[in-house]
Every structure is written in C-alpha cells, then in structure tokens.
Amino acid sequence: MSQEKDVRAEHHKRNPATEIREHGNAEQKLREDRDYLRQLTNSLPDAVVSVTLPDRKIAWANDAVKVLGYKPEECIGMSTRVFFPTQEDYLAFADKVTRAIGEGQDVLIAESFLKKKSGELFAAEVTLSYFKVNGTAVSETVILRDITESQKTASERNQLRNELAHLSRVMTMSELSATLAHEINQPLGAIQNNAAAAKNLISMFKEDHAEFDEILTDIVTDAMRASQIIRTARGIVRKEEAKFEQLNLNVLIEEVVELYRNAFNMENTSISLDLHPDIAPVKGNRVRLQQVLMNLVSNASEAMRESPSKRLRILSNTQSTDLIVASVSDSGKGIDKTMKGKIFQSFFTTKKGGLGVGLRICQSIIEEHGGRIWVENNPAGGATFSFSLKAYQGGSE
C-alpha cells in the first residue's frame, strides 16, 4: 500500500511543463513519421492511392502527377472510375477485383489501360492489397505503374526475334538453293520431253489419242509438282506475321523430307519415317514449324557428313492426350557433353563458319507454340533432337 502511495505522490509531483514538453515531442515525432512516409511514397515512380470500399472513392493519394497527372488534393473524393477509358472497362476491372476478394486473395496484380487527366491512355500494372475488418474488405491500397516503356521494349524484342527468324529462313534457303534448283529442273525437264513427245504423236496418230491423253496427264502432274515446290520455297522465305491453324505434323514432316529427298540420294543417306498413324493435330504456324524441321534435318545431315553409315530417322508420337512429340535422329558423332548445355544458346555453334542462331531460333519458335525442344545422345551413337507441341483443342488464335 505504501508503494502505491509513493507512485501517486510522485505523479502529483510531476511538473506540468514537463508533461507539455513530452506531449509536444510525441506530436513532433508523429509529424516526422508522416513526413517520412510522404517522402517515401513520393519518391516512388508509381502512383499510390488508398480507396474506400465498396464505393471505390479515393481517401488518400501520393504525388500522382507523374503517372496520372492529378495532384494529391485533386484525387481526394474522386471515384476510381475517372481512371478508366470507358464505363465498360471500369465495370470489368471492378468485377475482377470483387472476384479476387471473394476468392480470399490478399493481393491482386493485373494489367489494364488507364486514362490520365489529360485524356491520354497508357498501359498500367495495377497492384491492389486489401485492408479487412472482421473479414470484410473496407479499403484497398492501389499502386499504379506505367508499363508503356516496358511493353515497348518487349515488342521491340519480339520484332528482333522475328527479324532473326526471317534471316534464318533466308540462310536456310541459300543452303538449299542447289537442291531446290535440281528438284525444279527435274519436273520442268519432264514437261519439255513430254511436250515434244506429244507433238510427235499428234503427227503420227490421227485417231487414237489415248497415249496422247496419258502424256498430257503426265505434263499436268509434273507441272503441279514444280508449282508446289516453288510455292513451298516462297512460303519459307516470305516475311509474314505468324498465323496459327490446325496442322497435321506428319504432313509437315513428309513435305520437308520431300524437299531433301534428292540430297539424301546424292549423299547416300538412308531415311526412315516412323510416324504415328493416328496422331492428333497440332495448332501452329505451317511455315515456322517447317523451318524448325528443316533446320533439324539440315543439322542431322551435317552431323553425318563424315560418318561411314548415314541413317536419318524421323519419328512422331503422342506423348499424352494433349502433347505431341516429333524427333529427328542421326547416326553422327553425337553432342559433346561439355557442349550439350550450350547447344541452344545464341551464337554458339559447332559448325565451321556457322552463325549459331539456327537452334536458338528453333527454340524460340517452339516456345512461341507453347512447347519445348531438347537434345539427347543416342546409346548407339548420334543425337536425337526432339520437340513437343500441344494437341489442337479447337478454337481460334
């Protein structure tokens, strides 16, 4: 009891001036903390606002001029609707936020086009975190970041990748020019010979035109074959945006093999196709997938150039209900273990005079299609390059 009396006595002895000074110090500390928080938020490259729920009115904002064009005091009491280009955009984003809260998410990160005070539209990354009372969200803190420049950089990077892909296709056609010329000259030569024979038959036979009709049929067939080869060649080097469609991977493989058929014969390369007869279609771009197959076949032929036995095997199979795999296997020396991890890196090559962009571009194309590409050495020698693609599920790109 005496101790409590001492405490009360000491309390009564405290100087009122001391209490005022301590109170003033606490207020000063609070002001300093607020100033620090204001300086911290203003130093950010993003706009930060506090929004009340469910009316979505702004209760507080930092220096939002650099992102939104509004001064902090202008934002107070405004509806977040003013940041969206249209009412439909606002409602769609509000619905996304409502669903996120309903699913129990504490943080939502999304992208949207927003509108500045000047009316200018910009791409923004919106990060929302919620303050809850008794499990109910009563306010949210919103961070708005202008990602226009980062999207522009990504677009430029994608354009560069397309330019490199186009360069690779042109280079591949340069390597195939001799083979293509031979393939085209064969049917054109047959057309000339058949036409000459037709003229002779016309002069010799006046009534029976059966053989004449047969030769004309051959002319048409050979001409169609020559036209198809030219169209395929033009499609490979034509610079165009990727259009995705339903494709039969086996057909693509057969078309590429047909382009190399004469080269295989000249180089004494035996080729075997092990194509799954009931393979599901894939969704992809015909020209770009042909570019991948041509690059893998060309690399396989190059790898077997010094091999006494040249055996090329191309396989297609269904790995799962929604995954299709194609493989190109050669009987060359295989891939050195120290180089295997670098094989898909840009400008890495094992070819004399090679640029080292072919496999890297192949990887980009396959990843663009939602698949992956890899390489393994064969137990009996040589290497196998494989890539996977998603099975076609319907719909349009």
Looking from the CA of 391 toward its CB, the CA atoms found within 13 Å total 13
Looking at residue 391, its amino acid is A
* pLDDT at residue number 355: 45
Q: Provide CB contacts within 8 A for 392, sequence distance 6+.
A: 246, 247, 280, 281, 282, 283
- Using CA atoms, how far apart are residues 54 and 99, in angstroms rounded to an integer? 13
Tens-digit pLDDT profile for residues 91-116 = 888 888 888 878 888 888 888 889 98
Q: What number is the average pLDDT over the span 51-76?
A: 81
How many residues would you count in the chain? 397
Which residues neighbour 41 within 8 Å (Cβ) at sequence distance 6 or greater?
48, 62, 63
For residue 313, what are the CA distances in angstroms to 95, 282, 310, 326, 327?
53, 21, 10, 11, 8
Alpha carbon distance 380, 377 (integer Å):
9
317 C-beta neighbours (distance < 10 Å), count: 15
Q: How confident is the model at residue 158 (pLDDT cuts 50, 70, 90)?
A: low
306 contacts 255 by C-beta, under 8 angstroms: no
Count of CA atoms in the C-beta half-sphere (13 A) of 261? 13
Residue 192 pLDDT more than 80?
Answer: no
Report which of residues 156 and 125 the model is more confident about: 125
Q: How many whole angstroms separate alpha carbon 176 and alpha carbon 178?
A: 6
What is the fold, at CATH topology level, of the domain defined by 46-146? Beta-Lactamase (3.30.450)
User: In this structure, are residues 269 and 304 in contact, taking their beta carbons and an 8 Å threshold?
Assistant: yes
Give pairs for 194-198: CB < 8 Å, separation 24+.
194/218, 194/219, 194/222, 195/219
- Specify the amino acid at residue 128: L
pTM: 0.43
Question: Fold match between 46-146 and 150-240?
Answer: no
Higher pLDDT, residue 123 or 7? 123
Mean pLDDT, range 171-199, rounded to an integer: 66
Tell whether the model's pLDDT for residue 208 goes beyond 50: yes
Instruction: Give the lowest-confidence range in 34-38, 120-124, 324-328, 341-345.
Output: 34-38
Structure tokens at 159: 């354009």
Fold (CATH) for 150-240: Helix Hairpins (1.10.287)
- Domain boundaries along the sequence of the chain: 1-43, 46-146, 150-240, 243-397
Q: Are 44 and 63 in contact (CB under 8 A)?
A: no
Q: What is the topology classification, in CATH, of domain 243-397?
A: Heat Shock Protein 90 (3.30.565)
Instruction: Give the count of beta carbons closer than 10 Å to the beta carbon of residue 118.
Output: 7
What stretch of H or E contains 136? Answer: strand 136-146
